[in-house]
Amino acid sequence: MNGRQCLALSAPLLFLAVVSAAQEASVRYISNLPPRRNFFVVAHQDDWQLFMGDVVAKEMSSGTPATFVYLTAGDDGRDSVYWQTREKAALQSTRLVAGAAKADSGLFGCSMTEVLGHAIRKCVIAKTESYFLRLPDGKRNGAGFADHDYQSLRKLRGKTITSITAVDGSATYHGWEDLMSTVSTLIKSSSGEGDIVIHANDPSVTVNPHDHFDHRMAGLLVADLRKKEKWKAQYYVGYALATRAVNRSNDQARQKTALFGAYDREMLAVDKAWGAYKEHPAFYAECMLRTYARRARK
């Protein structure tokens, strides 16, 4: 998602106290028994913190390893300083959820790896792996930005473009099937033994209306992969989350807030104008109190 700061400051945290005991009692997690590995396939560097942060925290606390796959650079049509900072910010959230010491925050163990001939940035922190494909941000409507010739995941899947190139020129994917095969190979190579559970934004317009098209494409990518692989999946509500009823406990909301705050502080350290909470305080505050997900049908 193209948003930055959320509730890192003490004042915004005051809203957490209003979650009632009745709301806490209504909380339920839909995750399966701990799988061998969870894969969080998202469009942007702050998506999992915002839409599924408490679920990630719960899974990681059980000792289940996790892989994060970021499809786009989250560049928002801006320069490399911006999207590279977003990657660093995402890794700060990962460090926190993985329980890595702050002193280790600069030692992420990042390098370029090759998957089916495509160069992809890979970072390892504790029991997590993060992959950054750095494809162009498609803009909320999927039309893309001029700086990258209006390329987008929506256009690639819709076959109005035949290829898409990473914003740093590191890789080109020749069609949606090429992207699918690359992500599928990445998942298989990182999964080890046992079950695979993939987490992504819900591709259903009915269940998840008004979402960013990059979010929807991440969900559709997972849905398309499952037609071949039959992997388990959980789908999450995106932008519509803030309109739903509160369903997180105080502790769960604090978990989301902490993870999103870790991301945001890294962004603010580079540019004070890159703060999400300052930009849309009500929206981000509401999202911290909510996580909605469903299991994909087999």
- Other C-beta atoms lying within 10 Å of the C-beta of residue 183: 26
Query: What does the block give as tokens for 16?
Result: 């957490």
Residue 103: what pLDDT?
Answer: 52
Q: Distance (Å, rounded) from C-alpha 296 to C-alpha 55?
A: 16
Give me the pLDDT at residue 16, please.
36
Residue 278 is predicted with a pLDDT of 77
**Is 2 inside a domain boundary?**
no
Low-confidence ranges of the chain (pLDDT < 70): 1-36, 101-108
Nearest-5° Cα angle at 52, 227 to 280: 125
CATH code, domain with 227: 3.40.50
On whether residue 4 sits in a domain, the answer given is no
The three-class DSSP label of residue 200 is strand
Instruction: Report how far residue 241's alpha carbon sits from residue 222's, in angstroms, rounded to the nearest whole number.
Output: 20
CB 209 within 8 A of CB 243: no
For the chain, the distance separating the N- and C-terminal CA atoms, rounded to the nearest angstrom, is 28
Q: Residue 194's pLDDT is what?
A: 77
Residues contacting residue 239 through CB under 8 Å, at least 6 positions apart: 1, 210, 211, 212, 215
Q: Is residue 251 part of a domain?
A: yes
Per-residue confidence (pLDDT) for residue 129, from 0 to 100: 96
- Entry pTM: 0.88
- Which pLDDT belongs to residue 187? 96
Q: In terms of residue numbers, what domain contains 204?
A: 11-295
CA 171 centroid distance within chain: 21
Q: HSE (CB half, 13 Å, CA atoms) of 256?
A: 27
Cα 122-81-10 angle, rounded to 5 deg: 90
The domain tally of the chain equals 1
Residue 1: inside a domain:
no
**Residue 29's pLDDT is what?**
40
Q: Select from 136, 135, 105 the least CA-distant residue to 123.
A: 105
Is residue 6 a part of any domain in this protein?
no
